[in-house]
Amino acid sequence: MKKLISVFILALVLCLAGCSNSNNDKDSHKNDEKKSESKAKSKSERFKEYDDNSEAYEEAKKKYNKQKPISMLNKLDPIMTDKTFTNQKGMQGWKDYKKLMDKVKLADYKYTKESKGSSLDDVDAFFKDKKDVKRQKMDAGEDGIKQVNYWYVTGSGKKVGNTNYPEYYTEIMTKYKDGKLIYASVEPGLYHVSFSDAVENKNFTKVKNLNQLLKLNQSKPVPYSVAQMNYEALPVTNVSILVKGEKEKDDSNYLAYFNFSPVKYDKDKNHEVVSVNGAPFESAQADFGNYAYVAMQKGMKDAE
């Protein structure tokens, strides 16, 4: 059977590649002409460009408006155990994540200006009265993106590695663009991994829907992140699962990132796999949230 996944190595620090301009006179002249043309555009022309984006967003929404969204977060409860979140305090992060996603609205990743989304203040308000949750602004490593994490700290006073960050059981990661929430994920901080829990590669490649994913393994598959974003008007829920590498290829264990959508399901209301890709576990464990963020985008682009 054709392999569904192409394993890729994601950079821990995300950055956008800039385009360099040529220094020769010809290219410089062309750039000057383009700048002049841009300045010469009338207000009506600039508004038309914005309207075109709005129209594109409205057209994108029409693709999925006919299907009533069915949330899948509660369906993931059977595989959310202490193998992922360590203890009750860690599990509270998962419970709070579900409540948070019921309260906030995600702006569209591509059509951010044209869509509505919750603000950082809205998210902060949710965590305001929660005990043992530390708010930490992070460097997103991506121009125009703001990142704020909420950590369910252990209270041990210990730090993570060589950083000044406190140890935590669970992390809720949020990202913002143009002041709007575009991404939210939940993942473990302190965790124990047993590769005997990894799903067999031959079984993983057969997964076509959420029910099949939940039934993988003799016990239960072990997730290491759950994330949500809206991509070109399609709401997406991503789940990462620990999978064994192929023995004959001497591959290492990796995380398989499954993209599902609340509006894509069969007649039995079983969510179908939209796309899937993966990353080596030893790389992804450095930053589960950001690896999921990149994997979601890559998976959706590959599915186009």
Distance CA 132, CA 169 (A): 11
Which three-class secondary structure state does DSSP give residue 34? helix
Q: Are 148 and 138 in contact (CB under 8 A)?
A: yes
- Domain count of the chain? 1
Is residue 244 assigned to a domain?
yes
Is residue 78 assigned to a domain?
yes
pLDDT at 249: 58
Residue 191 one-letter amino acid: Y
CB count within 10 Å of CB 133 equals: 18
Distance CA 68, CA 14 (A): 34
Is residue 253 assigned to a domain?
yes
Is residue 55 assigned to a domain?
no
Range of the domain at 227: 74-303
Is residue 41 assigned to a domain?
no
Distance CA 79, CA 73 (A): 11
Distance CA 82, CA 77 (A): 12
Q: Which residues of 146-185 are buried (b: 16+ CB within 10 A; e: fewer)?
A: bbbbbbbbbeeeeeeeeeebbbbbbbbbbbbbeebbbbbb
pLDDT at 35: 46
pLDDT tens sequence for the chain (304 residues): 333 333 343 333 333 333 333 344 444 444 444 444 444 444 344 434 444 588 999 998 999 988 899 999 999 999 999 999 999 999 999 999 999 999 999 999 999 999 999 999 999 999 999 999 999 999 999 999 999 999 999 999 899 888 899 999 999 999 999 999 999 999 999 988 888 889 988 888 889 999 999 988 666 899 999 999 999 999 999 999 999 987 755 578 999 999 999 999 999 999 999 999 999 999 999 999 999 999 999 988 887 7
Residue 130 one-letter amino acid: K
pLDDT at 250: 54
Distance CA 174, CA 149 (A): 6
Distance CA 132, CA 150 (A): 10
pLDDT at 170: 98
pLDDT at 10: 37
Residue 65 one-letter amino acid: N
102 exposure class (CB count in 10 Å sphere: 0-12, 13-18, 19+) = exposed
Is residue 34 assigned to a domain?
no
Is residue 236 assigned to a domain?
yes
Is residue 33 assigned to a domain?
no
